[in-house]
Amino acid sequence: MPIELLEAGDLEMKRDRAEANRVAYVAATRARDLLVVPTCGDQPIEGWLEVLNPMLYPAESARGNSVPAPGCPAFGTESVLERGPKGKRPSAGSVRPGLHVMDVVGAPVAWWDPTVLNLETEELAPLRHQRLLELDTGGAAAAESTQKYEAWKSARQSLLGRASEPSLRVQTVTSLVRGADGGGMRTEPSVDVRVLERDDPDRPGGRRFGGLVHALFALIDLTSAADALKALASVQGRMVGATEDEIDAAVTTVVRTLAHPVVQRAAAAAARGELRREVPVQLRMEHGGLVEGVVDLAFREETSDFVGWTVVDFKTDRELDGTVDRYLGQIRLYCSAVSEATKLPARGVLLVV
């Protein structure tokens, strides 16, 4: 041998053992519930599985101390089938088939009795193609095979059809009220429509302006001063690409709205910790579907004639053009969802700002 190999012999042996340990680890950890290991009851087998031997072999004094293994047939006393003409039974005896538990933390090991196995089973895989090519007298086997295939195909199509049907149809509140006809719209709970008069008839409008107003209502303290509101509106306006006129108009609109009695009641509820804003809600419909949406503002209050939740939906006047009935249906669904979730009555307010 080259001198270099002789000098590195110990290192190479350590590397080989380390690699054997890694291979055994990978093999053993593939098992989820049961690990089957080939071994010998007379003595340990050398090789890459020998790292498992301390967990497999009981002490020599306990080799014969086994108990019936659950779920296994009745075993004999030998775990070795034959030892050959020169083989001898070890003086301490072979490991007795059955269940062995090494210690409290060790995994239980069931040693198998090879005599209960059918070891002379002929492997049929090489003959499979030959059987497929044999003559089918009368075509009976082919007809049966075709019938089974058609039955499988029919069952598959039926399964795919059933699986393609959603078990739960989910849609937004907005899409539901847009698709509902007038007769299908809810008329309860009651919704109070409040319209704030505005001084500027040429105030900006549109979806971007409405989105900016909604963002401010979602983020501001309901007792905010105009200066703080202006700073927040400037940031939110840049996020949606609003113009300076739109930002100023949004601030004016929100300041005016904060003085409305409904918002004043909401501010009082916020001080009590009973105010929710931009809260997602879900409602299971009678037909089995599920609708979901986001409530602009909801607060709990107790008065002489009402104990429950008031649900507020903010709209700008341009958002409301020709869509009053749709928005009324939307807020009624919000009220129903809040009432289902809280087990308290809910009423709606459509606040047009």
What is the DSSP secondary-structure string of 173-217? HHHHHHH--GGGS---S-EEEEE---S-TT---SHHHHHHHHHHH
Instruction: Give the CB-side neighbour count of residue 260, counting CA atoms within 13 A.
Output: 21
pLDDT at 150: 95
Number of domains in the chain: 3
Q: Which domain holds residue 292?
A: 165-196+261-353
Residues 219 and 345 in one domain: no
Question: For helices 207-219 and 226-240, what crossing angle results, to 10°?
Answer: 130
CA atoms within 13 A on the CB side of 250: 32
pLDDT at residue 121, rounded to an integer = 75
Both 171 and 45 in one domain: the answer is no
Do residue 308 and residue 329 come from a single domain?
A: yes
Do 191 and 273 sit in the same domain of this protein?
Answer: yes
Is 150 contained in some domain?
A: no
Q: What is the dihedral of CA 50, 56, 58, 64, to 10 degrees?
A: -120
Residues 289 and 309 in one domain: yes
- What is the predicted pLDDT for the residue at 182? 46
Residue ranges of the chain with per-residue pLDDT less than 50: 182-184
> So what's the pLDDT on residue 180?
64
* pLDDT attached to residue 307: 92
- The two three-digit tokens of residue 312, written as one number: 């507020």
